[in-house]
Chains A and B, each alone.
Chain A
């Protein structure tokens, strides 16, 4: 019998530092599978964030750079503009992308930079101990919102996919979740589309991935998956928000998640 499940070539053969139940590892695997399938490992450059995934370059097996906190889009812009033949992507958390790096990502998307962003939304700052992020859910307890996120003081969570798809320029914006096989399969399709659009020289693409941080949420890995499904999915609808073919879409209207 042939071997059906193997490590993608784009993924290094090492043990990661991620906590048990963290979905960063799932996101890495999906990106690596897509890179293998498209045969682009030799011309791919990744930009690592500041956050738990800062060490993601240890788990991928192609060229990588570190960026200052939130500045991965600026670095990706430079590399892609000088070498349009390379496949360039940033991998960023919600603290990195939606907090300190918010203006970087908005302007890179709006300029139509031809790179791809994989955006991990786990509703907290993971690396630094679970502080509140712009994406933290109303009422969610974090180390900096010990009584739960108060909307009256901090507003509602930022919906990055919706925000960026309101811009005219970006080509492909989607949100998926890394919580069960049927969702993970959808997520992979979205990542594959994002990279394929880039390969076809289409402008900016971003896939937001709803993820878990059991450690900082203070729950078990299984409960973390349930929490995403119960708390995050209703607020962060899944689906494509913008495609080059159809333009702007509204997954929240009509379509239920993960049908």
Chain B
């Protein structure tokens, strides 16, 4: 599932469509309900998630759990920004807001103040380890979740930081984009 950024949703530019788009029938014969005769098979395919027998449902849930665990191992994505230096504050921010935060970090750098950022690219699996590692770094005094929402991200950040540093929140919503100056003011209080 891709969560779209509201601002991206409001952008417009011309696109070119190919003459016609054609859907591709599935050739996944081992499970697709594409008709028994398509597969030349006497075995029918069934796509379902309902298991009423507890043992069967448990087995299915274990299978799904193994799949989620694999996603956690293989699919987690995030982008570090300015984590090499001795930052005193760590920002966690995503989407449009993280662009503003880059400017914030660059502005601070010009004044000789180091601020780092982890930008989660996947919400599930959440980059817990990356956020924890960045928050645990010596010299990091505080973490701040900067959002264009009233704290949808901050609880994930708290869970990831596991108390190694205090976690704060700054945000605005309704489509109003916080300016670099406003974010800098919030970060400055933590320096």
User: Which residues of A does B touch, CB under 8 Å?
Assistant: 41-45, 48, 54-55, 57, 61-66, 79, 81-83, 85-86
Contact = CB atoms under 8 A, between A and B. Distances in A.
A45 B48 contact: no
Contact of A65 (B35, B38, B48, B52): B48
A41 B46 CA distance: 14
Contact of B35 (A54, A55, A57, A86): A86
B47 A61 contact: no
A83 B37 contact: no
A10 to B, nearest CB: 10
A63 B46 contact: yes
Chain A at the B interface: SS class:
mixed
A61 B42 CA distance: 10
A83 B34 contact: yes
Nearest to A45: B33
Contacts, number: 56
Contacts of A64: 33, 44, 46-48
Nearest to A43: B35
Contacts of A44: 35
A41 B35 CA distance: 8
A65 B44 contact: no
Interface string B23-37: 111100000011111
A66 B34 CA distance: 14
Contacts of A79: 33
B27 to A, nearest CB: 11
Of B24, B36, B37, B44, most A-chain CB atoms within 10 Å: B44
A79 B38 CA distance: 14
A85 B38 CA distance: 10
Interface string B1-29: 00000000000000000000001111000
Given A64-B47, A64-B48, 10 more contacts: A42-B35, A42-B36, A43-B38, A55-B50, A55-B52, A57-B46, A62-B44, A66-B48, A66-B49, A86-B35
B61 interface: no
Contacts of B46: 57, 63-65
Contacts of A81: 23
Contact of A82 (B25, B36, B37): B25
Contact of B25 (A45, A55, A65, A83): A83
Which 4 A/B pairs are nearest by Cβ-Cβ distance?
Answer: A42-B37, A63-B33, A43-B35, A66-B48
A257 to B, nearest CB: 36
Contacts of A45: 33-35
B44 A61 contact: yes
B50 A63 contact: no
B34 to A, nearest CB: 6
Given A42-B36, A79-B33, A86-B35, A63 B44 contact: yes
B45 interface: yes
A66 B50 CA distance: 8
B30 to A, nearest CB: 13
**Residue from A42, A43, A65 having most chain B Cβ neighbours under 10 A:** A42
Most buried by A among B24, B45, B47: B47
A44 B35 CA distance: 6
B57 to A, nearest CB: 14
A40 B35 CA distance: 10
